[in-house]
Amino acid sequence: MASTVMAIAVSLAPPSAADNKRLNDSVVANVYTIQHTAGCTNNVTINAQLRLAAQWHTNDVLNNRALDGDIGSDGSTVQDRARAAGYQGAVAETVAINPALAINGIEILNQWYFRPDYMNVMSDCGYTQMGVWSENSLDRSVVVAVYGKPA
């Protein structure tokens, strides 16, 4: 009887939304470390407009399995999304996709660190602002970081 009640309670419970703030913040911290290892002396701050641009692309990549990089399902680029979010500076982007329910900071860095184009973005001292967003589904996790050079 108790197991039946528990099963009904679980089946009627609303789905929980994952809070990936700690993961997202750790991506910013890791980029800060990469920049300082490269000789940068600046700080890296979180920018809400860049975070919104990252959120839009994360959701697009999560829900459109044909996407695996920087171009959106509507043909948009990272610069298009950043401008639409109200950011006026130059931007770049890194995207991590894991075919699993979860992703962690080590998996993200393994995907980005050894790609010369992504490493160049992460170690560029001019990118002093970032927005990071991540989402998960049962079989896919996506993390997008948008880097900004203020205008």
Residue 126 belongs to some domain of the structure: yes
Residue 59 belongs to some domain of the structure: yes
Q: Which pLDDT tens digits describe the chain residue by residue (151 residues)?
A: 544 434 443 334 444 445 699 999 999 999 999 999 999 999 999 999 999 999 999 999 999 988 888 999 999 999 999 999 999 999 999 999 999 888 888 889 889 999 999 999 999 999 999 999 999 999 999 999 999 999 8
Residue 14 belongs to some domain of the structure: no
Residue 48 belongs to some domain of the structure: yes
What is the spatial distance between Cα 10 and Cα 14, in angstroms, rounded to a whole number?
9
Residue 12 belongs to some domain of the structure: no
- pLDDT recorded at residue 130: 98
Residue 4 belongs to some domain of the structure: no
The residue range of the domain holding 80 is: 20-149
- pLDDT recorded at residue 102: 86
- pLDDT recorded at residue 109: 87
CATH number for the domain including 25? 3.40.33.10
119 phi/psi in degrees, rounded to 5:
-65, -40
Residue 19 DSSP label: -
Nearest to 67 by CA among 107, 97, 108, 111: 97
Residue 141 belongs to some domain of the structure: yes
Number of domains in the chain: 1
- pLDDT recorded at residue 124: 98
Residue 10 belongs to some domain of the structure: no
- pLDDT recorded at residue 12: 42
- pLDDT recorded at residue 95: 97
